[in-house]
Structure 1
Amino acid sequence: MILKNCTFYNEEFEKEFGDIKIENGTITEIGIINDDGVDMRGNIILPGFIDIHIHGGNGADCSDGTADSFAKISTYLASKGVTSFCATTMTLPYEKLKAIAEEANRFTSPKSKLVGINLEGPYIASAKAGAQNREFIRNASIDEVNELLDICDKIKLITIAPEVGNTGEFITQLKQKMTISIGHSCANEKEARESIDNGIAHATHLFNAMTPMTHREAGIVGAVLDSDITAELICDCEHICPTVLRNAFSILGEDRACVISDSMRGAGLGIGEYELGGQMTYVKDGYKVAKLEDGTIAASITNVFDEFKNLLEIGIDFKTALKSCTINPARVIREDDKIGSIAVGKCADLIVADENLNIKEVYIDGALA
């Protein structure tokens, strides 16, 4: 298949005009190709978006650990231009995590590709648990994670609170196998910096469920911003206000920010009551997020493509916003040789949008989703 007369964003995330040839799900040629194809004139083609931190949507949750739930999430995400995702688990008992890993290992995505597992816990701080179930919080276990890796080699990310237990060895032993992220943590600046020195390379939903930056104690937020590690940002403009988002992107630049949805099973469904990690959450009229009964923000109900448009609306430049939804998360999960940009040799994961960024078509591995 050849897509003709394409206005697209190339590997350098600069606008380019040309043709894109796709064979067996892979981009094999970019340029002016003297063959017939599908005319894409009048459209904008973007690389498929990647959500490395998503719990669910369309009534399903990754922690259900079933093929049916993974399929519902996969289909929902494809409709929103998200062509790859990491199934994100909550703080759960080991046997439940094991069952999820087993199902993820054998799951074949019908639409958006399940390219990884993101373990958000269980090695976190009780005081920063948020919507996580404190009953299952425990100290970091190298053996437990290695056993999960033996079941499923798709485990790409894990969140830990470095101040809980002896995590130094955990970080140094596992950092080559997956990306270790700081989050749901009460660490002070010193503890955060030590963990980054040990090999923590990422921050889970920056600003949320972690020690803030103040003028006398930089906390996790300050340590992360004053480092070279990547950081997730929930850009629904509710978890983080637009002013703070602008400041964060100004510091992180175009290579360190990763837009995530952190969405739950209620995403795409509207008003209702939705289970999350064994707790009930609520989406009421006027809510931009799902909340616990006491009003605590539990999870988002957005998607990465809508967040991308939010960023443009609040003044984040197009290139930075686009990289934060594509190549940056691909690098975090070490899949950037396959996904994250429009380039020869990569998967043909493409969003076709009109000039107002309304999605018209989505291609996943060269097939119309």
Structure 2
Amino acid sequence: MTETRCTVFARTLYDGASEEAQRDMLIGIEGGRIAFITSGDAAGASHFADIVTPGLIDLQINGAADVQFNDDPTVDALARIAQGAAEGGTAHILPTFITAPGRDYTQAIAAARAAIEAGVPGILGLHLEGPFLSPRRPGIHDPAAIRPMDSEDIELLTQPFPGPLLLTVAPEELPEGAAQALTRAGVILFAGHSAATATEVEQAAAEGLSGATHLFNAMSQIGPREPGVVGAVLTSERMYAGIIADGHHVAWRNVALAARLMPDRLCLVTDAMRSLAGVETSFDLHGETIHLVDGRLTNDKGTLAGAHVAMDESLRNMIAQGIASPGAAVRMASHNPAAALGLQNALGSLRVGHRASLTLFDADMYAKMTICDGHVLRP
């Protein structure tokens, strides 16, 4: 449902830019944009919430609502994934297509392009995670499908695309000149599933690499004499990083370290699979059975296979662990990911003239309504 005009009352408002809370605020929506933000009371408001934030943005989500993007790269599947993500307060997603054989990723590009052009609410762009990864750090990705990038890939990936296109690569595996060619065309490059040295990351950053995918996971770690991908990102002044705050992927002390060192560059991501907002407790992933047990997704060997966490749960985790204040956690789920995509002037903070994307929570930070460009995704 699209509401051309409505007013949202927030008992507490976090605007995404500041950590400070504002009390008893009215947000006016008109024509898919924020028309006004002012103090007031709830009388006459269309919607009411204990807490209101900018619409949450997830840079990495593989599936939801019993749909996996890799298994069904279609517009209908993307609409279902966006709806499933919205149950956890996510207004905008980069549906994520992981390593697949050959140039299967072109199916994902076509589906995301069609969804954006059709105006499917919530589909912001596309995240391709692979297949240009390190065979030394495959994680749950199919090792047989990991391969080097070639000139045809560069040609395909640099074609015009109607939204942000984020590409996760192992920078040490890229051919010479590839990073520059991709970033000149507007592709956002993140390092992931990488065994790169810090020097290799810094060289790639000079050529346009701007972040890292699921920080700490499937990448070279900090050692006494080699900082690895993790050290290079933590000590960078400009690189962003997604992080999975589910208590399974990254130790809370490491999450806290990242939040302390890069508060304006850390982005909460879910890395969610089809089980999120679904009913399945097991599913197939390139020939392996993935099981959901106690909120943890693994294959039969115990290898983590994506996550089963929503964005609102990630916020609650950050707050409950004492890692971030509510305002800081909100910033990591809204403003920071918007900035990572270069969209901070339209999304990620509540400002007059910005796109009308909001998440409405109860007092315990459980998402109750998700609004995307004035369109109510949930309920």
Same fold (TM > 0.5)? yes
Aligned to 1:141: 150
CA deviations on 1:76-135 (whole Å, 9 max, x unpaired) are 111111000001111123542212211211125887511111110111111101111122
The aligned runs of 1:217-236 (5 Å cut-off) are: 217-228=226-237, 229-236=239-246
Query: Which has the larger share of helix?
Result: 1
Taking the aligned partners of 2:162 and 2:374, their CA distance within structure 1 comes to 25
The answer to which of 130-139 and 94-103 deviates more is: 94-103
Taking the aligned partners of 1:233 and 1:250, their CA distance within structure 2 comes to 13
| CA RMSD, Structure 1 to Structure 2 (Å) | 2.3
Matched, 1:294 2:304: no
SS at match of 2:288: strand
1:201 to 198, 203, 210: 210
2:319 to 312, 315, 323: 312
Q: Are 1:351 and 1:359, in contact at CA under 8 Å, matched by a contact in 2?
A: yes
Taking the aligned partners of 1:289 and 1:27, their CA distance within structure 2 comes to 38
Aligned to 2:249: 239
Structure 2 residue runs without a partner (length 5+): 1-5
Aligned to 1:178: 187
Taking the aligned partners of 2:28 and 2:84, their CA distance within structure 1 comes to 27
TM-fit CA distance, 1:339: 1.5
The aligned runs of 1:41-190 (5 Å cut-off) are: 43-63=50-70, 64-107=72-115, 112-141=121-150, 143-150=152-159, 152-166=161-175, 168-176=176-184, 177-190=186-199
Aligned to 1:12: 17
Structure 1 residue runs without a partner (length 5+): none
Q: Are 1:7 and 1:41, in contact at CA under 8 Å, matched by a contact in 2?
A: no
Matched, 1:334 2:342: yes
TM-fit CA distance, 1:291: 1.0
Q: Are 2:158 and 2:182, in contact at CA under 8 Å, matched by a contact in 1?
A: no
Paired positions, count: 365
SS at match of 2:205: helix
CA deviations on 1:59-90 (whole Å, 9 max, x unpaired) are 11122202232121111111111000001111
The answer to which of 178-187 and 330-339 deviates more is: 330-339
- For residues 119 and 330 of structure 1, do their structure 2 counterparts lie closer, same or farther at Cα, with a shift above 3 Å needed? same
CA deviations on 1:146-177 (whole Å, 9 max, x unpaired) are 424537333521111122252x4111122231
Aligned to 2:223: 214
- The residue type paired with residue 3 of structure 1 is V
Taking the aligned partners of 2:102 and 2:341, their CA distance within structure 1 comes to 23
- For residues 179 and 142 of structure 1, do their structure 2 counterparts lie closer, same or farther at Cα, with a shift above 3 Å needed? farther
- For residues 258 and 44 of structure 1, do their structure 2 counterparts lie closer, same or farther at Cα, with a shift above 3 Å needed? same
Q: Are 2:121 and 2:375, in contact at CA under 8 Å, matched by a contact in 1?
A: no
Taking the aligned partners of 1:4 and 1:268, their CA distance within structure 2 comes to 27
SS at match of 2:302: coil
